Amino acid sequence: MDVLLVGSGGREHALAWKLRQSSKLGTLYIAPGNAGTASCGINVPIGQSDIAGLVRFAKDKGVGLVVVGPEEPLAMGIVDACEQAGIRAFGPTSGAAQLEADKAFAKQLMRSTAVPTAEARIFERFADAKAYIASRDEPVVVKTAGLAQGKGVFVCDDPADAILAAEKIMVQKVFGSAGQKIVVEEKLLGEEASILAFVDGKTIYVMESSQDHKALCDGDTGPNTGGMGAYSPAPVVTEAVMDRIVKEILVPVVDAMNRNGTPYKGVLYAGLMITPAGPRVLEFNVRFGDPETQAILPRLRSDLLEVLLAVCEGTLDQVHLEWDNRPAVCVVMASAGYPGPYQKGKVIEGLEQASAVEDVVVFHAGTTLADGKVVTNGGRVLGITGTGADISSARQRAYEAVSMIHFEGAYHRRDIACKALKP
């Protein structure tokens, strides 16, 4: 079966790498892809937001499945467009994608179904948000309601900082239309975890747990990013905690989406805070996480293409996934200046040596080819994943490979997965 994979990041390279292992796969097209995906299939110069162009290409090539990586084309309705054209597509419709594309919608849905989450208020006017924040004396989190590539979240211990964050979003419009509405919620305390599950509208199949590292700098300091690294599994998600996540969060939300007339198919990603009182939802994403996917898929032994097809066909209840028990750790290497402005075109050296390290996979994110060389082409450039007998050895392998890769201005956190080493 020929497949079109949409996207160009580290998540898409991980998906392409795993799909390439399927005996059912024919030709794999990646649009637009990166320097890494070129080794897994054929890169196609069509942007991820060019819905009409992507559907036309899939139809012309007789593609049997379109797999959508990023949230933007999902929110824009690529799955709806594929279905109208008679093309099978993996991912939620635009109506179901509101769970990520509109945080206000997600909050209201959680309230209506008693899903545990932070207390929150939604604002469409800066003056109202400012007055509310000024009346608070505890830490709050300010979020864009729309899509901001994981960067539209500000954790503020001081109300003055929260007002500045709201002003940046709503008045200065640093995230454009994504900031027309904001969500102001209480700051939850605990340890974060990412739970990704395959959903076919009625069956939920939870993947192995993981934990992302959103902040730019060691010790979870600095501005929020799209993610600076991840590891799987996350020890904080015990069997008892996972049972609560499924019963109190995933099942009610999938049921609510069905009642809402927007049945959910694809990957449902719950970003959680594991608090002393139990799991609480920070946000929902409607696709594979990035960089969580780079830590999860190397542990998946089963055929990914078979699972994606089962989701599309509503036969997920017939699937059994096998996992490698060994943990995996992914360390992101980023461009200097990220998540702010950064330069592109820096030559990357040491990729072959790093890839030769045992149980290491180098996933490309913001890369491209120029004059036969791999160069930087984004904020997050690479995700280096190591697998080992335990978290410590997986970290050691990942960081050994990281030390072999060089490009001007390269930056990475040095404490990825340290939380999992706590006694």
pLDDT band at 250 (very low <50, low <70, confident <90, very high): very high
Quick check: 422 pLDDT over 80?
no
214 and 284 in a common domain: yes
The pTM for the full model equals: 0.94
217 and 313 in a common domain: yes
200 and 130 in a common domain: no
399 and 373 in a common domain: yes
Q: Is 283 a domain residue?
A: yes
pLDDT in tens, 175-203: 999 899 999 999 999 999 999 999 999 99
pLDDT in tens, 206-231: 999 999 999 999 999 999 899 999 99
Determine the pLDDT at residue 272. Answer: 97
Q: Is 120 a domain residue?
A: no
242 and 273 in a common domain: yes
Q: CATH no. for residue 362?
A: 3.90.600.10
3-state DSSP of the chain = CCEEEEECCHHHHHHHHHHCCCCCCCCEEEEECCCCHHHCCEECCCCCCCHHHHHHHHHHHCCCEEEECCHHHHHHCHHHHHHHCCCCEECCCCCCCHHHHCHHHHHHHHHHHCCCECCEEEECCHHHHHHHHHCCCCCEEEEECCCCCCCCEEEECCHHHHHHHHHHHHCCCCCHHHHCCEEEEECCCCEEEEEEEEEECCCEEECCCEEECCEEEHHHEEEECCCCEEEECCCCCCHHHHHHHHHHHHHHHHHHHHHCCCCCEEEEEEEEEEECCEEEEEEEECCCCCCHHHHHHHHECCCHHHHHHHHHHCCHHHCCCCECCCCEEEEEEECCCCCCCCCCCCECECHHHHHCCCCEEEEECCEEEECCEEEECCCEEEEEEEECCCHHHHHHHHHHHHCCCECCCCECCCCCCHHHHCC
352 and 304 in a common domain: no
402 and 354 in a common domain: yes
391 and 333 in a common domain: yes
